[in-house]
Chain A
Amino acid sequence: MDLYEHQGKELFARHGVNVSAGMVAFTPEEAEAAARELGGQTVVKAQVHAGGRGKAGGVKLATDPADAKEKAENILGLDIKGHIVRRLWIEDASDIDREYYFSINFDRTEKAVLLMLSTEGGMDIEEVAEKTPEKLATMHINPVWGLRAFEARQLAFRAKIDADVRNKVVAMMLQLYDAFIKEDAMLVEVNPLLITPTGEVKALDSKFSVDDNALFRHPDIAAMRDVHAQDPQEQMAHEKGVTYVKLDGEVGILGNGAGLVMSTLDVIQQAGGKPANFLDVGGGATADEIVASLEIILSDEKVRSIFFNIFGGITRCTEVAQGIITALEQLDVRVPMVVRLDGTASEEGLQMLADANLDNVTIADTMLGAAAEAVKLASVATV
């Protein structure tokens, strides 16, 4: 789960990391009030789950409350890489002397925690890594022992952090590591890590991503989920406990098992179509879950046909068949469906579908045959 900048900073502050004071605003009026409360110059920052906010015009300096209101009017509603700005973070403006970069990554390949530190902050770190790799210092930390102060110091020396702020940067790295571990983060990034003219060290931005599987022990973070930022379908899927990712094609996909569903998206494209979604009903799906899943897929108006690709393992194909039959009774299903059932209880499941004599359901024997049929039906329906 990706957090907004202001949510990440809230977690930073809990672990002692120095951040600017600020307030959330959803309207220009709230932005004005926030700026008045904070006093002095403020920065109006778009809160979206995307990088490149500055370039997109999503971060503006405001001289006074009236100016903050005006800047907020301009920023709210902006489309930043497909994300509409609905909330703002108004914070005290900072004087900038130097900008550094620091990140903590969950390195699945090395089974370790990867730290990256650079004096080249405020820009795209991938570019720094490519063009001037000598300016990016990296270090793997054994997660069993955790980050020791001497290691953070070593990294600071390697990155050629200026002597006047070295100790403060080291202290902040230790605080951020603490946040990374205690909050079950998959990524913590501070870019820029700001040095003010008076030598204050501050996390001016925050990228914070938390492991979904660990949210059960962080109810406070789970509550930070912004339901409005999700597609309505994704929100519905979240409520029903189904794994759904919205895509932009016209063939709805319902399958079981992540790998098989990914493969199903691929064969739809290979057959000349475009998948409308990724939907994994998971193992041991019940008829009710099939109905709920179909409801989610059908709420996407672009869907022109639906491809059921089920290989029964724990999942029984009879449950899937029952789900399809029930859904057709309960829902107003106008798009044609192609069903391919294999594995556990597939023969009985197919028999159930045949007996139900359903108008707009086509049975296919193979995955490729079913994909071709679903794409064909979708293209006919669009015409």
Chain B
Amino acid sequence: MGVLVGKDTRLVVSGITGREGSFHALNNRKYGTNVVAGVTPGKGGMDVEGIPVFDTIADAVAQTQANTSMLFVPPRFAVDAIYEAADSGVEVIICVTEGIPAHDMLLAYHYVKEKGVRLVGPNCPGVCTVGEANVGIMPAHIFTPGSVGLVSRSGTLTYQLGKELSDLGIGQSTILGIGGDPIIGTNHRDALALFEADPDTDMIVMVGEIGGNEEELAAEYIKEHITKPVIGYIAGLTAPEGKAMGHAGAIISGNSGTAQGKVSALEAAGVKVGKNPTEVAHLVAEARGVAVPA
């Protein structure tokens, strides 16, 4: 089952006629995702290797009963695509696009919330429920089916962790990439709640990074609401103050947003925190009684 995407997902891909959009839509379909439609304004009636293209997301939803939208739209138009998707009747929007202005996202966030739609991202690698559906840009073949839920702001770091777990024979339920922007639709607390409610997930790996205070809030949330074991990791222990480290949101301001502060908050909530991806995988193995080769 997993969270957010799975066997019941009916995916509509905005930007499907672009190079990246078509590549990843077809990749997702190859993995087993039910890609029912694509959208590019003015190209309705075409198809991309059998996937029908519509002019609007609303048309796609009306004609194909799509319930999940993936956005592969250039940054200047992506925020409009978020409004369009939220208005179309889909339940989940996954926005891969990086580089959306923060003020635009701030307003879109409130619109999406008002509509009661789940937004993942922007600037995220997507969501993969292992063996069922992959929506986004993740190289899903490195993941193996299992019951560890993985949530992270970063793409490649998530792949690293997925691989380290898979190498130890520990499978994953859903890999949830929430994105590295200052304003994101689904945060760590939302992800934790989803995994807590998912019967196919029995353990959660939470990957955070410097910037903001979301990890600290997640630590509070874990203390009060999460019964499943959580293993943590925070990237950026050596990052300097005042410089954005690749992600627009990954910046330490004064004493706020430091990795050490986040590690301490998680540990105070009873979360074991690894100091690098390998150690995190070993902590997961230890908690599951899986032997780690010397």
A residues with a Cβ closer than 8 A to B are 106, 108-109, 111, 126, 142-144, 181, 184, 186, 211-214, 216-217, 243, 245, 247, 255-263, 265-270, 275, 278, 280, 283, 311-314, 342-344, 366-368
Contacts and interface: CB of A to CB of B under 8 A. Distances in A.
B237 interface: yes
Contact of B101 (A214, A243, A263, A268): A214
A257 B157 CA distance: 7
A181 B246 contact: no
B104 to A, nearest CB: 8
Given A247-B240, A262-B245, 12 more contacts: A109-B217, A144-B107, A144-B110, A214-B101, A256-B156, A257-B156, A258-B245, A260-B160, A265-B239, A269-B238, A311-B160, A313-B137
11 contacts: A108-B249, A109-B212, A142-B110, A181-B103, A259-B156, A259-B207, A263-B235, A278-B246, A342-B160, A343-B159, A368-B278
Contacts of A313: 125, 137-139, 155-156, 159
B171 interface: no
A344 B183 CA distance: 30
A262 B210 contact: yes
B109 interface: yes
Contact of A259 (B139, B152, B238, B254): B152
B208 to A, nearest CB: 9
Contact of A366 (B137, B235, B278): B278
A5 B153 CA distance: 34
B110 A278 contact: no
B273 to A, nearest CB: 12
B96 to A, nearest CB: 10
Interface of B: 75-76, 99-104, 106-107, 109-110, 125, 137-139, 142, 152-160, 163, 180, 182-183, 207, 209-210, 212-214, 217, 235-240, 243-250, 254, 275-278
B254 A126 contact: yes
Nearest 8 CB-CB pairings of A with B: A259-B154, A258-B246, A257-B156, A259-B157, A214-B101, A260-B156, A262-B235, A108-B182
A213 B278 contact: no
B139 A343 contact: yes
A263 B180 contact: no
Contacts of A142: 110
A212 B247 contact: no
Which of B153, B207, B214, B245 has most chain A Cβ within 10 Å?
Answer: B245
A73 B246 CA distance: 38
Contact of B155 (A211, A270, A283): A283
B100 A263 contact: no
Contacts of A143: 103, 106-107, 110
B117 to A, nearest CB: 15
B277 A263 contact: yes
Contact of A106 (B182, B237, B239): B182
Given A106-B106, A269-B237, A312 B278 contact: no
B180 A266 contact: no
Q: Which of B99, B106, B110, B275 has the most CB of A within 10 A?
A: B106
A214 B248 CA distance: 12
A312 B277 CA distance: 16
A262 B239 contact: yes
Contacts of A126: 254
B100 A213 contact: yes
Contacts of B235: 259-260, 262-263, 266
A111 B249 CA distance: 13
Contacts of A261: 245-246
A263 B254 contact: no
B192 to A, nearest CB: 16
A73 to B, nearest CB: 29
